[in-house]
Structure 1
Amino acid sequence: MPKTILITGCSTGMGNASARLFAKNGWNVVATARTPASIETLAGANVATCRLDVTDPDSIAAAIDAGIARFGDIDAVLNNAGFGLYGVFESLSDADIRKMFETNLFGVMNVVRAILPHFRAKNSGSIINISSGGGMFALPAMSIYCSSKFALEGYSEGIYHELGALGISVKLIEPGGVLTTPFDSSAVARMEAALAPEAYGPFLEGTTRNIAVMRDNAKATADDVAQAIYAAATDGTDRLRYVVTDDIKELVRLRHEVSEEAYMAFVKDHIVPKI
């Protein structure tokens, strides 16, 4: 029997590309989004489309039930839905910050909590969480986004140990900059619209320039990341972390291999804007 995967956040970007790739490779796909009309073109013989808002537990339960009713089982969940908002801490409202964590952390927890009884009943299943390079290192004007991803990393590593004992795998996908998605440009637009104290003006101008340079150095597309997700889902290993875009691999290496002093000096010299 073909395996079945439920994917959140399929309207654009990596979620949409992943839904198409898994379906192309013979999987059944439960493709979900907050607005079902945005994913109607994904529907097909082995693709069911459903409304799912990760902040709404009732919609999560309904999508899981619909997927099992349609295909008989769910073997994997890809937690792709996410929210990006850049900006210095003082420019972000309490509502902004809570929305970030409600989507990027608590939303993932909501989906995992809902699917675990099904996975436990059959002693198998796979949870794949989309993290970020920003879950391993923090960058200027991304303190809240990175903190939500740092928390997701810690949560995922913790349940990796808990659920591995029950036959359930947990995997973290860690992309950097990804072309062909609206995520980064939307986050930058929100940053530029935020009302930061005037003193941050030169810093934010420099940060915007540096983000543009990082975007120019990003070569991976949503399809590339989808290929990496599919490979992780099917490699048959108990590996936890997958760094999947080349643009962040050197920062990840430095974060893990050099001293704290050397790493922080590198970030100050090469990433923090010069004012």
Structure 2
Amino acid sequence: MKKTVLITGTSTGFGRAAARLFASEGWNVIATMRSPDAEKELVHRDNVLVIRLDVQDHGSIDRAISEGLARFGRIDVLINNAGFGLHGVFETISRERIQEQFDVNVFGVMDVTRAVLPHFRKQKAGVIINVSSGAGVFTLPLLSAYCASKFALEGFSEALSYELASQNIVVKIVEPGGVTSTDFVKRSGDEAARNASIADYAPFIAGANAVFDGLKSARLASSEDVARVLFRAATDGSDQLRYVATEDIAPLVRARRETSEKDYIAFMRSRFMPRP
């Protein structure tokens, strides 16, 4: 029997690349998105079910899982990919927007996971892959809300992995960063443009943005590269918890995980706290 993967957020970026890759590898794919009526490509693949799932709409989660099971009979892997990033000085971001950041990046993942777990327990197997970020390992200025949501996702995923191991369900975390072929950067920029400006932060923002511009120019990874890591995590048969998906962030990940706290903080301050 073919294996089936359910992927959230397949309209763009990592989710779309993953849907294409899994389908090309012969998997059944439940490709979920908020606006499936606008999808023109994935709907033409026989082994892909394109269906609405908005992680902020509990009813749509249950319907997507039910229809996916009706179509393919089982779900073997869940990839929680849907998410977005708020960009800007914390003081300028409204409470409502931060609540939405957590509703999508954290509570949405929890709700989709909770909904699929009874099926995984019944079949005594399943893999859950949560798409985190380098910003779930190390923090960056102007991304405080996004970092907070991804740090929460990492903690949730790690703790959940211990619980679900008792049910033969494996939890994994994929950590991408520095990807060019995704509209995440554009969306983050749009968010920053909507935020009210505070003149006191202007010199710092200018300096920090100069650092980010330098990082952008060095980006080499693509959404397809991340999709390949997602596929490996789904198929390698291991209980490995974390996968660093792009080489661009590897130095920062090593700095966080392999150096002393003092050395790490000094390194990050020297790199990401430009003086006005």
The TM-score, its normalising length taken from structure 1, stands at: 0.98
- The alpha-carbon deviation at position 16 of structure 1 amounts to 0.4
SS at match of 1:87: coil
On the 8 A contact 1:33/1:39 being kept in 2, the answer is no
- The alpha-carbon deviation at position 168 of structure 1 amounts to 0.4
User: Match for residue 237 of structure 2?
Assistant: 236
Amino acid of the residue matched to residue 88 of structure 2? G
- The alpha-carbon deviation at position 274 of structure 1 amounts to 2.5
Amino acid of the residue matched to residue 270 of structure 2? D
Amino acid of the residue matched to residue 148 of structure 1? S
RMSD value, Cα? 1.0
User: Match for residue 259 of structure 1?
Assistant: 260
Whether 1:11 aligns to 2:11 is yes
1:250–1:155 CA distance, 2 compared to 1 (3 A): same
- The alpha-carbon deviation at position 109 of structure 1 amounts to 0.3
User: Match for residue 189 of structure 2?
Assistant: 188
1:115-264 aligned within 5 A = 115-264=116-265
**Aligned partners of 1:187 and 1:57: how far apart in 2?**
26
On the 8 A contact 1:10/1:39 being kept in 2, the answer is no
SS at match of 2:87: coil
On the 8 A contact 1:33/1:53 being kept in 2, the answer is yes
Give the total of aligned pairs.
Answer: 275
- The alpha-carbon deviation at position 247 of structure 1 amounts to 0.9
**Aligned partners of 1:84 and 1:37: how far apart in 2?**
24
SS at match of 2:39: helix
- The alpha-carbon deviation at position 271 of structure 1 amounts to 2.0
**Aligned partners of 2:66 and 2:102: how far apart in 1?**
26
SS at match of 2:50: strand
User: Match for residue 23 of structure 1?
Assistant: 23
- The alpha-carbon deviation at position 257 of structure 1 amounts to 1.5
**Aligned partners of 1:159 and 1:40: how far apart in 2?**
36
- The alpha-carbon deviation at position 188 of structure 1 amounts to 2.2
**Aligned partners of 1:36 and 1:204: how far apart in 2?**
37
- The alpha-carbon deviation at position 216 of structure 1 amounts to 1.4
**Aligned partners of 1:190 and 1:7: how far apart in 2?**
25
**Aligned partners of 1:144 and 1:4: how far apart in 2?**
33
**Aligned partners of 1:38 and 1:216: how far apart in 2?**
32
SS at match of 1:60: helix
- The alpha-carbon deviation at position 221 of structure 1 amounts to 0.2
User: Match for residue 270 of structure 2?
Assistant: 269
- The alpha-carbon deviation at position 196 of structure 1 amounts to 3.2
The TM-score, its normalising length taken from structure 2, stands at: 0.97
- The alpha-carbon deviation at position 72 of structure 1 amounts to 0.7
1:11-90 aligned within 5 A = 11-43=11-43, 44-90=45-91
On the 8 A contact 1:119/1:168 being kept in 2, the answer is yes
- The alpha-carbon deviation at position 272 of structure 1 amounts to 1.9
Q: Which runs of 5+ in 2 are unaligned?
A: none
Amino acid of the residue matched to residue 41 of structure 1? E
On the 8 A contact 1:119/1:125 being kept in 2, the answer is yes
Whether 1:100 aligns to 2:118 is no
Q: Which runs of 5+ in 1 are unaligned?
A: none
- The alpha-carbon deviation at position 192 of structure 1 amounts to 3.2
